[in-house]
Amino acid sequence: MTSETRKPGTRVLVADDEELVRTLIGRVAEEFATTVVLVAGGREALAALEASEFDLVITDIRMPIVDGLAVVRWLHSHRPHTRIIAITGFAASDTEHAVAALGAYLLDKPFGARELRDAIEHALSAEKPQAR
């Protein structure tokens, strides 16, 4: 599975303040990407995004200081082609609606490797949803 799905040059950024979750997301993301960068928060994510381009950003919504919504907003205005998977706790809350409206795929917690893999596959292959 690994070698078939991985496109050379694909770069993924993972932002989650939970180290274990972040590491595990990274492990699955490696199946799809040649470069996976892990960061522990929104601020670090913005710094990484400003420094280089990514094909896909997987970010938790609830993070201290700079949250996932800020990251998604920044991407929406600065990197409109970057695919986004937003990890959510409450699929129906206002923040989640906002994130979805900005063109991110929502992945509801808790999820397993299979759900994550499906989300990544979908985000990378499908047309990016139009921001409303």
CA 5 to chain centre: 18
CA distances (Å), origin 88, targets 6, 19, 35, 40: 25, 17, 24, 16
How far, in Å, CA of 101 to CA of 68, rounded?
Answer: 14
The answer to whether 118 contacts other proteins (rule: CB under 8 A) is no
The size of the interface with other proteins (CB under 8 A), counted in residues, is: 21
Looking at the Cβ atoms of 22 and 83, the one nearer to other proteins is 22
The answer to whether 132 contacts other proteins (rule: CB under 8 A) is no
What is the number of other CB atoms lying within 10 angstroms of the CB of residue 56? Answer: 22
The answer to whether 106 contacts other proteins (rule: CB under 8 A) is no
Q: Which of residues 59-88 bind other proteins (CB under 8 A)?
A: 62
Residues that bind other proteins (CB under 8 A): 18, 20-21, 24-25, 27-28, 62, 89-90, 92-94, 97, 109-114, 116
